[in-house]
Structure formats: C-alpha cells, structure tokens
Structure 1
Amino acid sequence: MSQINFEPIAEQHAELAAAIRSIQAWIVRCVGVKFIELKRLARELPAVPSDQLALALDALVFHDQLREVFRVRDPHRDLLPENYDNPTEIPDKLLSRDDQFAFALEDGEIIHGFLLEPKRVAI
C-alpha cells in the first residue's frame, strides 16, 4: 500500500511546508479517507491559517497529489458519491444515495473538496 509523502512538495514550497505537513498528518490520521471535505479539514486543522491551507491545497493539486472536486449532500445529510469538476456541472435534479427519492439541488448542499489520488502519491 502506498504511503503518503508530501515532503518533496513541502520542500519545494517552504512557505507552505507547515500547512502541507499538517494536511499529510490529517490524511494519515483519517485512515481510508479518499474524499477530503474542505470545511471538515479546516475545522480539524484550526492551527493552520485558512489562506495557508488554501495555498497548500492548491500546491497539492498542482503537483497531482489531490484533485479538486465538488459533491452534493442530499436533504437527509448523506454525501452522494458522484464527483463534479465544477459546481455548474451538477444537475438541478438528483437522486438520493440509495435512489429512494429525487431532490432539487437547491434542497441539498454543494460540498467543496478534494480527492486523494493514491496512484499519484509519492512513495
């Protein structure tokens, strides 16, 4: 299994090294995480200033370690598995996670996040 090692990126971006290392440590603590919800990450890394967190995430996307995506949380608070590259791609009508009910996007919530791309993570 691949180990996450963002250290080469932290070394390339010294001004973001602490934030990048904090993100890596968070991913390691959250065993099995594939989708990183931005709000959750920010809430669970309160010592990382939001501007540094945003720049560190941008650096990880630039270096193909993460992929920025958008998902939808249905009215029952279940996170749907579909990923969208842009919020404008999300259809106006969606089905719940278990296909039990349809709902309008306005009744759900767009979730900004990142996919961990294990095949791209440095070993």
Structure 2
Amino acid sequence: MSPVNFEHLAKQNPKYKRAIEQLRAWINDHPQERVLNPLNLRKDIGNVSPAELTMALDLLRKEGLLHRVYKVVTPSGVLAERDFDDPIKISRQAARSLRGIFRDI
C-alpha cells in the first residue's frame, strides 16, 4: 500500500488522521501480514479508540485499499486457512463441530 494513498486519505478525513497514520505505521512495520485482524490491531495500536480504528479501516476499504474477509479463529489461532467474503459461506458443518470457540472479529 502506497504512503501517498494514506496521506491523501488522512487529508480527506482529518477526524481519523491519527488512526490512519497509526495503521500506516503498523502496516509498514508488518510487511509480511496479509490479513489485518482488528483484535490484533487494537492491541498493537493502543492510542486510538476502537471506533476510530474501525472507521479508519472502513475508509481504507471504501478506497479499495483493503478487502473485508472473514476467518474461523480461536484463541489459539486460525482453524481454517481459507478467507471467506461472507460469514454465511463458512461451512455450517465446521461451525457445528467448533461451536463455542468462535469469536467475532
């Protein structure tokens, strides 16, 4: 993701500038990451509110810089390597066998 895109987005949305800049820094520090898990971001980026972080992620999505996906996760890690565009597409059978260990992200 280009820094120019972040700068433009921050100028267009000054209310979320701090969150956008923090996301840019996090992404630059984690170039190997393909998925931005909001729970992990919230832990790593502690100086912005959850609402600001959510709005900044949504702004990046609306600009086409991010794509929302869903994963099956537990406290110990990812159970399904596949990304899903829609949570409804996650196998009902897998959901039944893993009931009680899901956490929404």
TM over 0.5: yes
Q: Determine which structure has greater relative contact order: mean sequence separation of CA pairs < 8 Å that are 6+ residues apart, divided by chain length.
A: 1
- Which residue matches 1:83? 83
Q: d(CA) in 1 for partners of 2:22 and 2:76?
A: 31
Displacement of 1:44 = 0.7
Contact 1:19 1:48 in 2 (8 A): yes
**Alignment RMSD, CA only?**
2.2
> Which aligned runs of 4 or more in structure 1 are off by greater than 4 angstroms?
none
The amino acid of 1:86's aligned partner reads: D
The alpha-carbon distance between structure 1 residues 75 and 28, as it changes in their structure 2 partners (threshold 3 A), is closer
List gaps (5 residues or longer) in structure 1.
Answer: 95-102, 113-123
Alignment of 1:17-28 (within 5 A): 17-28=17-28
| Contiguous gaps of at least 5 residues in structure 2 | none
**TM-score scaled to structure 2, two decimals?**
0.82
Letter paired with 2:67 = R
The structure that is helix-richer by fraction is: 2
Letter in 2 for 1:85: D
Write the mapping of 1:1-123 to structure 2, written as runs, cut at 5 A.
4-5=2-3, 6-73=6-73, 77-94=77-94, 104-106=97-99, 108-110=101-103, 112=105
Which residue identity is paired with 2:56? A
Count of equivalent residues: 102
Kindly state the Cα deviation for residue 62 of structure 1 after the two structures are TM-superposed.
0.4
**Higher strand fraction (1 or 2):** 1
Q: Conserved in 1, the CA contact under 8 Å of 2:73 and 2:103?
A: yes
